[in-house]
């Protein structure tokens, strides 16, 4: 491979830059000449908005900072590549650019929608006898990519969620039962409850854990929810409940829609969800008279790299390295995957793109609204170890594009 290019797409994570670090590292080990970064994903690619990663990463201190920098260092996008039919010019333009810069392999770190881009480009290359290779690098805090045991970005988000919930539970336990507060914490996850399930990880010998966990994998029953609170308030002086932003009633209506009308729709046609916790907090306050508080982890759960899991950072680096290795072996239309023992491999992108992996129902203790041991055994290894941030003048330091 003479030159290669790497891009980032979709919602950022704490470790998406570690994937880039892995791609760069392996490429340099293999003697690749230029490692380009596309600024703002495929959208920037089409405008030839490139940087040369040597300008940043040949310096070892910067390399270490990149691993500690959240969000997309290269810039991200939510550009949905159109079907080939009727849009041939877009595809021709992409290969023109690749030829112009003598780029032999194209790496894209992203989630479901980004893997669809890899699928379409690799299919096009094969059908049109182009030599360029297209390889996906998994990235999503949502952990909803299939085949791979887990996704880089998920472990750090879990560590943030478990740590922050532990702190919230301590905070909420400050006051006597007469001042009982029901705290409802909203965690990202539209259809898959992986992130919300991570709330179970805060429970240990010095933390009682969350009192209930509601995932979008199961229909939400408002009566069951209110009855549960009614039971809990009789014995507890603090109630903390974790809910996924995407929980919905049996008829499919999102819980957040109980308080507000129509929801906006994003570029991929997904409804924008938020306000699930505040909707529930209002309902609880009204029905029970209890003091309530709604907390949303919002973007911090995907951006708090000061709490990155070292296991997750290593998975991100290793999957980036594996993607380059695969291209070097001539593989096209594959994604790097991570096995449960953290070893890495590759897999056909056609089995991955647009498939959403949900939390297995058998891992959910529906009766007690808790996660079963199977989930804890699955997720616990993903939050092990810390990559300590580098503080300067009291605040964490990042690497940013000039």
**What are the catalytic residues?**
142
How many residues sit close enough to a second copy to count as binding (CB under 8 A)? 63
Please tell me whether residue 5 binds a second copy under the rule CB under 8 A.
no
The stretch near a second copy (CB under 8 A) out of 70-78, 146-154, 189-197, 332-340 is: 70-78
**Minimal distance in Å, beta carbon 160 to a second copy?**
10
Q: Which residues are within 8 A (CB) of 62 and not within 5 positions of it... i.e. 6 or more apart?
A: 56, 399
Point out which residues pair with 389 in neighbouring strands. Answer: none
How far apart (Å, rounded) are the C-alpha atoms in residues 254 and 277?
12
Chain residues 137-176 in contact with a second copy, contact rule CB under 8 A: 159, 162-164, 166-168, 170-176
Q: What is the DSSP letter of 268?
A: T
Please tell me whether residue 128 binds a second copy under the rule CB under 8 A.
no
The stretch near a second copy (CB under 8 A) out of 250-258, 325-333, 338-346, 379-387 is: 379-387
Please tell me whether residue 222 binds a second copy under the rule CB under 8 A.
no
Point out which residues pair with 243 in neighbouring strands. Answer: 186, 214
Chain residues 9-48 in contact with a second copy, contact rule CB under 8 A: 11-12, 40, 43-44
Nearer to a second copy, 24 or 40 (CB): 40
Binding mask 383-402 for a second copy (x = CB under 8 A): xxxx-x--xxxxxxxxxx--
Query: Around 365, how many Cα atoms within 13 Å sit in the side-chain half-sphere?
Result: 13
Give which of 299, 291, 300 is closest to 184, Cα–Cα: 291
Cα–Cα distances in angstroms (integers) from residue 241 to residues 181, 184, 228, 280, 319, in the given order: 11, 5, 11, 10, 34
Backbone angles phi, psi at 19, to 5 degrees: -65, -40
The stretch near a second copy (CB under 8 A) out of 22-30, 134-142, 199-207, 328-336 is: 199-207
DSSP 3-state of 45: helix
CB 216 within 8 A of CB 191: yes
Chain residues 287-346 in contact with a second copy, contact rule CB under 8 A: 293, 295-296, 298-300, 302-307, 309
Backbone angles phi, psi at 240, to 5 degrees: -125, 125
**Minimal distance in Å, beta carbon 73 to a second copy?**
9
- Residue whose structure tokens are 């770190």: 109
Q: Which of 135, 197, 201, 334 binds a second copy (CB under 8 A)?
A: 201
Provide the binding-site residues for a second copy, judged by CB under 8 A. 11-12, 40, 43-44, 69-72, 75-78, 159, 162-164, 166-168, 170-176, 179, 183, 201-202, 204, 206-207, 293, 295-296, 298-300, 302-307, 309, 380, 383-386, 388, 391-400
């Amino acid at each position: 491979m003479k030159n290669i290019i790497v891009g980032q797409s979709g919602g950022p994570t704490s470790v998406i830059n570690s994937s880039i670090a892995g791609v760069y590292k392996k490429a340099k080990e293999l003697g690749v000449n230029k490692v380009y970064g596309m600024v703002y994903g495929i959208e920037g690619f089409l405008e030839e908005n490139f940087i040369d990663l040597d300008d940043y990463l040949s310096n070892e201190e910067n390399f270490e900072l990149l691993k500690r920098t959240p969000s997309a260092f290269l810039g991200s996008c939510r550009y949905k590549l159109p079907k080939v039919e009727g849009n041939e010019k877009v595809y021709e333009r992409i290969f023109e650019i690749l030829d112009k810069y003598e780029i032999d392999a194209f790496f894209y770190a992203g989630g479901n929608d980004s893997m669809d881009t890899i699928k379409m480009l690799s299919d096009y290359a094969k059908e049109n006898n182009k030599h360029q290779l297209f390889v996906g690098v998994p990235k999503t805090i949502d952990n909803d990519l299939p085949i791979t045991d887990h996704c880089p970005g998920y472990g750090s988000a879990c560590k943030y969620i478990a740590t922050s919930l532990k702190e919230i539970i301590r905070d909420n336990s400050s006051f006597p039962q007469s001042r009982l507060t029901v705290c409802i914490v909203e965690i990202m996850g539209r259809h898959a409850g992986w992130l919300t399930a991570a709330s179970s990880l805060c429970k240990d010998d010095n933390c009682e854990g969350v009192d209930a966990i509601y995932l979008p994998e199961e229909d939400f029953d408002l009566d069951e929810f209110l009855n549960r609170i009614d039971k809990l308030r009789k014995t507890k002086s603090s109630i903390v409940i974790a809910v996924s932003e995407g929980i919905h009633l049996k008829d499919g209506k999102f819980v957040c829609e109980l308080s507000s009308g129509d929801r906006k729709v994003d570029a991929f046609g997904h409804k924008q969800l938020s306000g699930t916790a505040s909707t529930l907090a209002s309902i609880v306050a009204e029905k029970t008279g209890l003091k309530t508080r709604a907390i949303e982890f919002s973007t911090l759960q995907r951006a708090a790299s000061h709490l990155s899991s070292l296991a997750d950072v290593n998975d991100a680096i290793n999957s980036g390295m594996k993607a380059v290795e695969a291209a070097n072996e001539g593989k096209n239309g594959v994604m790097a995957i991570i096995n449960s023992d953290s070893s890495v491999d590759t897999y056909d992108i056609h089995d991955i793109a647009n498939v959403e992996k949900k939390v297995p129902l058998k891992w959910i203790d529906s009766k007690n609204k808790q996660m079963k041991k199977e989930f804890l055994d699955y997720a616990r290894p993903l939050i092990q170890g810390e990559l300590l941030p580098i503080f300067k003048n009291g605040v964490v330091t990042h690497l940013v594009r000039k």
